[in-house]
Structure 1
Amino acid sequence: MAKKKTEIDWAGIKSDWEKSDWSIRRIAEWYQVSDGAIRKRAKQEEWPDRPKGTQKPVRNSEPPKRDPVIMAGVDATDPDQIVSRGNNLIFRLLDELDAATTHQSELAELIEAHEDDPRRRAAMMKAVELPGRANVVKALATAFKTWNEAKAPEGKKAQRQAKADEIASGGKFAPRGGPRLAVDNGK
């Protein structure tokens, strides 16, 4: 699936080109375009020469904010919303499956009584039979497991390692060096 192209802020790039002392590569990284594209645009539009000094960039200290990607009413960049929506969907599908399973014999009788096309009747009967429902349950269980694993916190081993790294990084609780002798007894 191809990514949707985002609009490039050429006015901001040109402003930084003219007024900041940042390198072209840094500007390109900031605006998430290639430095070649900036050079090409500058040449085409005949932008003025780059400044030689220590001027400040014309922008905030934060990169430009990207609009959230909304898919099916959920911010696709927020894992918690995705997991929550996925769990809700799985529960609804399980409810539908429960209803179909509860009334399976009634559905089969209705299909037999009202469907004249033999191919369509066979397809509908296959949809309400046990193997089809078992596959649906299996797929839903796998999806539920995947959603919950995505939502789960780090494992105990990873948590212990992170804590050890934090302690070892210095500060009040950093490991100390070996003992120092007050008197040299090595005569």
Structure 2
Amino acid sequence: MTTKQPDWEAIERAYRAGALSIRTIAERNGISDTAIRKRAKASGWARDLSEQVRKEVRNKLVRGEVRDEQCANPEHDAEIIEEAAEEGARVVRSHRRDIRKATNLANLLMDDLLTTISKREEIEDSIEAETADDSNGMRRATMLSAVALPSNAKTLFQLSSAMKNLQVLERTAFGLDDKEQPNDSDDLSKLMDELSKDA
């Protein structure tokens, strides 16, 4: 049986782009991260394109166009940047969609809570009527506690926290609070790994 040889050209591109951790590159290519590190050291690969990848991800999200960067090997590096930027842009777009869905859901839940609070007396009367023939008051107590003020206050707090978190995520996903990005390519690799797991 012939063992399939790793695609070292693709591995080099992913390694130099710096968008994925070495461990993730290894898993995707069915080899060990140690083998990649040895090959990178022997071939003189450098993970030096991560900042350019970050710029291109932002560029793709805003304009959908790729700007060529001045590099040691412009054509080869431009291809690596393009490939990594496309993957990063895809992940961010996916997260934007997920954040929108979660925000819509939180808004619907907030509307339901408002309806429950505004019609609490009617709901309590319906519960009393529904449980009038019960042999004990357990079901009635459980149903009434679900629409009681402490329960509504707890739900409001949880929804407010969720909406606050979603607003932070949305502002980040749309680059509205653009802070200076770290220069360390390992930080970007960790971020991209996390995004890839969620996507």
TM-score (norm 1): 0.47
Q: Which has the higher helix share?
A: 2
Structure number with bigger Rg: 1
